[in-house]
Structure 1
Amino acid sequence: MTEDSKEDQVRRILEEQLGWQPKRAWPGDKPHFFSLDKANIHDNKSEFIAERDTVKLVSDSLHTLLTRLVSNKPGQPPEQAEMFERLSQVINITAASRIQSEPPYTAIDLALRNVMQTDFFNSTIYVAFEMYQAYSKRYIELMEQETQFWKVSNRPPNYYARTIALRFARFYARTQRRLPTYGTSSDGPYPSTEYGRILEQIYEVLGIDANIRHAAKWAISQLTDEDVNPPPNALEQYIWAENRVEPPSPGILSQIAMQLAVGGKKGSEN
């Protein structure tokens, strides 16, 4: 029997110990929970800055693109909506005409063909929105790394332990709709709360040898009420507003939106 990966083991812990029951897109689907990767993968500060600046540029550019292309923004004059109606028709016809004589050779070719044949104008807006969410989330992660790694004289001990504790704390707050807590048993220095006990199991799977209490208390101190009740994403609201094509996957979209909203305020201030 093939040994389960670390990701599979952690997923099983979350399902069995926390009662996490994510919606699966298909039988055998393995929904994502939070990253188990080490946060800092850069060898030097110049590498870090190059990625940070690139991600910020892409995120800002996508936001500008979406703001420009979404046609049902509040207060938009009627002639603007009419212009987008004309433009979408022309773009859809142009996209469809490009694929008439070229058969698909790969799965990517087939996926692209489907997009170009199915309301290309709005479909690409949906894709751009998902890209914006992903790049914005990555930018927030990089800003956290900058604070922890590149703006201090000495790196904190076992930062990986802190990273996992914080990611799990945010996941816990988002899925359980309450802030996690940490305490120890009267029988010894063992975690006595649900968050602490599960974090201990996750550390064991990942081979993290660290003081759980210190990492857990630090992670919990980073959370706010917005981690439990993320603020609405204004850009998402008018993309999925009435009279537009239905969103491709509300479940996946809401997960990404909530993950982004967890650090959205911090990201916008940097």
Structure 2
Amino acid sequence: MKLFRFGEPGKEQPGVIIGDTKYDVSAFVKDFDEEFFAGNGLDELWELVLNNTATLPLVSDDTRIGPPVKRPGKIICIGLNFRDHAIETNAPIPTEPIVFFKATSAICGPNDNVVIPKNSVKTDWEVELAVVIGKKASYVNESDAHKHIAGYVLHNDYSEREFQLERGGQWVKGKSCDTFAPLGPYLLTPEGVDVDNLKMWLTVNGQIMQNSNTSQLIFKVPFLIHYLSQFMTLHPGDIISTGTPHGVGLGFKPPIYLKPCDVVELGIEGLGSSKQIAVAYKA
């Protein structure tokens, strides 16, 4: 099942995609948030949709698509989780996951503009597979991790490299600027998804920059859920972004960073694609 949210920023409504048809399910569901995922929301919704497709309102293709999850409690990111990305940034291969946070205020729709922050000269891109938690997880065994997954989403983990790497402190400063977490276009529930073998790609102005596969992840999804749950409780709706492959702007010699009017397009097999146009910050 594909879950999506539509409408103006801050006023999104829940929807379901079946085939190429988008249905408004706001009559059945308040929103795709922690409360929804914590209950039996997915199973109940699917049954309701199947029994009411003839009467559900349709969502037109020209309607704005928002992030598929209402602002979660936290976004947990995994750094340097592809060997080739670690190498291109001159970093050692991690022996344990590198964990950092991204502010939830960075979340936006998949096709919203990405705003180059004030005083930024090193805004970069990162196509990533993100996992949405569907069941509270604390001290979870790796073999049970799949029971805690609501689904998967496409994420562009935008990063301002000067803020991240040259300003001291933690990476969160370079990861959390407004619009730096476009999610979607939809959440794909996990049944039948071979999450360890999904093609992933990103282009800038039509030029391929990243072209890889989730098979190259160092730490796989079940291990990440197990690992993170040893240090914090994962709540329904929380997002884990699993890392990016080689081809980020920082890795080029000389580095390449975004400028206004650049067009970034990205996708992951089965999770759809998204497109952001870079715009300059305006007060």
Q: TM > 0.5 between the two?
A: no
Q: Could you state the TM-score of these two structures normalised by the residue count of structure 2?
A: 0.21
Q: Could you state the TM-score of these two structures normalised by the residue count of structure 1?
A: 0.22
Tell me which protein shows more strand as a share of its residues: 2
Tell me which protein shows more helix as a share of its residues: 1
Which structure has the larger Rg over C-alpha atoms? Answer: 1
